[in-house]
Chains A and B, each alone.
Chain A
Amino acid sequence: MVAGVKNWVRFDFPSRPENISFARACAAAFASQLDCTLEEIEELKLVVSEAVSNSIIHGYDKRLDGIVTLEIKLHEEKTIEIIVEDRGRGIADIEQALQPTYSSMEDRMGLGFVFMQSFMEDLQVTSEVGSGTRVRMIKSLLPGREEY
């Protein structure tokens, strides 16, 4: 459960690799309203980068004309919710895709979901073959955190 939404942003963009940096920069800028630490900002940038990359590579097979949706919600109690959604080919076996050793692309090491699971408190992946994938991540930014 997450508390009420204080602020939110939602936008669509084409599945072009050059938009990955734009998406993570937007997420970082928006999340900074919560007075995050630098480490938390870096982690949020990374998970957005991984989720959007997954949509482009796996959802759309690197096609440039797909649509990726990024939605960020800032909840009460300093909780951030990030949703990345595509209308691509979907994931047939989500359990397998979430495994640390699993990768259908050797050069990416299969670490995308590992980072999302490591840096966010909750990760939910819903997908339908032929319709797309929705990744929802939640993290609570607690007080008393250490800067590095």
Chain B
Amino acid sequence: MHVELEAVRDTLVARIKGEIDLAVADELRRVIDERLKAERFQSVILDLAGVSFIDSSGLGFILGRYKKITGQGGKMFIVSARPSVARILEIAGVKKLVPVYPSEKEVLQN
């Protein structure tokens, strides 16, 4: 697993690569939460283009960040999820909570 963080104006973009399961969920949580603690962002984009697999530990990581960010008055978006990952997000009901967009561009333009 690899995560690249980039600040685009008041948005934190987290580009995640690899498989998100129990083995990496805690590390992802730590890396993103540290950045959110250090800087103030209005929104967070999770770019899942590089994510080839996600299970309930990964979904828990996403929902946990969503609760944290929205609890602070911010917004969170998921972009570029592959069909296999998007299907799991849909079945789990994550799409009902977290807005999903085709790419970072759509979110940043709005």
| B63 interface neighbour in A45, A109, A112, Cβ under 8 Å | A109
A20 to B54, CA, bound (A): 12
Q: Quick check: A20 and B53 within 8 Å, CB to CB?
A: no
Residues of A within 8 A of B60 (CB): 105-109
Q: Which residues, 46 to 85 on B, are CB-close (under 8 Å) to A?
A: 53, 55-57, 59-61, 63-64, 83-84
**Max chain B CB contacts within 10 Å: which of A18, A24, A53?**
A53
Residues of B within 8 A of A50 (CB): 55-56
Q: How large is the interface on A (under 10, 10 to 19, 20 to 34, 35 or more residues)?
A: 20 to 34
Q: Quick check: A53 and B56 within 8 Å, CB to CB?
A: yes
Q: How large is the interface on B (under 10, 10 to 19, 20 to 34, 35 or more residues)?
A: 20 to 34
B18 CB, min distance to chain A CBs, angstroms: 9
A38 CB, min distance to chain B CBs, angstroms: 8
B60 CB, min distance to chain A CBs, angstroms: 4
Question: Which residue from chain A places its CB closest to the CB of B54 in the assembled complex?
Answer: A46
Residues of B within 8 A of A18 (CB): 23
A12 to B88, CA, bound (A): 28
Q: Quick check: B83 and A45 within 8 Å, CB to CB?
A: no
Q: Quick check: A49 and B64 within 8 Å, CB to CB?
A: no
Chain B residues within CB distance 8 Å of chain A:
19, 21-23, 25, 53, 55-57, 59-61, 63-64, 83-84, 87-88, 91-92
14 pairs from A and B in contact (CB 8 Å cutoff): A17-B22, A18-B23, A20-B21, A21-B21, A42-B53, A57-B22, A107-B25, A107-B57, A107-B60, A107-B61, A108-B57, A109-B92, A110-B56, A111-B56
New A-B pairs, 16, CB < 8 Å, besides A49-B53, A107-B64:
A20-B21, A20-B22, A24-B53, A39-B84, A42-B87, A45-B53, A46-B53, A53-B21, A53-B55, A53-B56, A107-B57, A108-B56, A112-B56, A115-B55, A115-B56, A115-B91
Chain A residues within CB distance 8 Å of chain B:
17-18, 20-21, 24, 38-39, 42, 45-46, 49-50, 53, 56-57, 105-112, 115, 118, 148
User: Nearest 8 A-B pairs (CB), nearest first?
Assistant: A17-B23, A107-B60, A111-B56, A49-B55, A108-B60, A17-B22, A53-B22, A18-B23
